Amino acid sequence: MKENKEQILADRLLLKEEAAWKELFGSYSRNLTYVCSRYIIGKEDVHDVLQNSFIKMFRSIDSFEYRGNGSLRAWITRIVVNESLKHIKQHSDFKVFADTFEIPDIQDEEEPNLEEIPQTVIMEMIRSLPEGYRTVFNLFVFEKKSHKEIAGLLGIAENSSASQFHRSKAMLIQKIKEYKMSKKAQYG
C-alpha cells in the first residue's frame, strides 16, 4: 500500500526532523491561523496561541498516531482549538453571557441564504460575536462538539451551551439581515 504525503510527513515529524517541522508550518500555518482567529481576536494573541500550539505539537508528537489521510491535520487542528480555549480561559474574563439582553426568537424563521455573502464577511460576523457566544458557536459548528462536550470543555452547564448557541445564531441572523439590507440600500 502506497504511503501518502501526509503519512510521510507524520513519519518525519516523529523522527523530529527539522525540515519536516518547517514543512508542517509552511503547509498548515495559514489554515491553523484561520482556525485560531475564529476564537481569538487580537493578532498578537493569535500569533502567541499558534506559537504555543506548535510547541505543544513538537512536545507531544510521540503521542500522535497516524490513522489515515487527514488524521495529522485533525490532530494539529485539535491542538490549536485546545490552545485557543486555554488562552481564552487564562487571558480574559471569559463568561457565559446571562440572559440579559433580548434577542428575538428565531425558531419560526427560515435560515438566511449565505450564498450571496462572502465568506470573509461571515467570518467577521462570527468574530464580532461576544466571546462566550463566539466560542460556543465555533465549537458546535466547526468542531462538531455536542453541547455536553462543550459544557465539559468550558466548565459550564450543558443547557448554558445550548442557550449560548441559540443566542449566537440569533445574533448572526440579525447581522446577516442587516448586511443584506445595507447591500440592498447600497445597490438598490
State pLDDT tens for residues 116-166. Answer: 789 899 999 999 999 999 999 999 999 999 999 999 999 899 999 999 999
State pLDDT tens for residues 88-121. Answer: 988 876 655 544 444 444 444 556 667 778 989 9
Give the class (CATH, top level) of 5-91.
Answer: mainly alpha
What distance in Å separates the CA atoms of residue 23 and residue 167, rounded to the nearest whole number? 40
Which CATH code is given to the segment(s) 119-187? Answer: 1.10.10.10
What distance in Å separates the CA atoms of residue 32 and residue 18, rounded to the nearest whole number? 19
Domain(s) of CATH 1.10.1740.10: residues in the chain: 5-91
State pLDDT tens for residues 3-41. Answer: 689 999 999 999 999 999 999 999 999 999 999 999 999
Grid cell at residue 134? 463566539
Signed CA dihedral, 132, 135, 140, 145: sign only: negative
Domain(s) of CATH 1.10.10.10: residues in the chain: 119-187
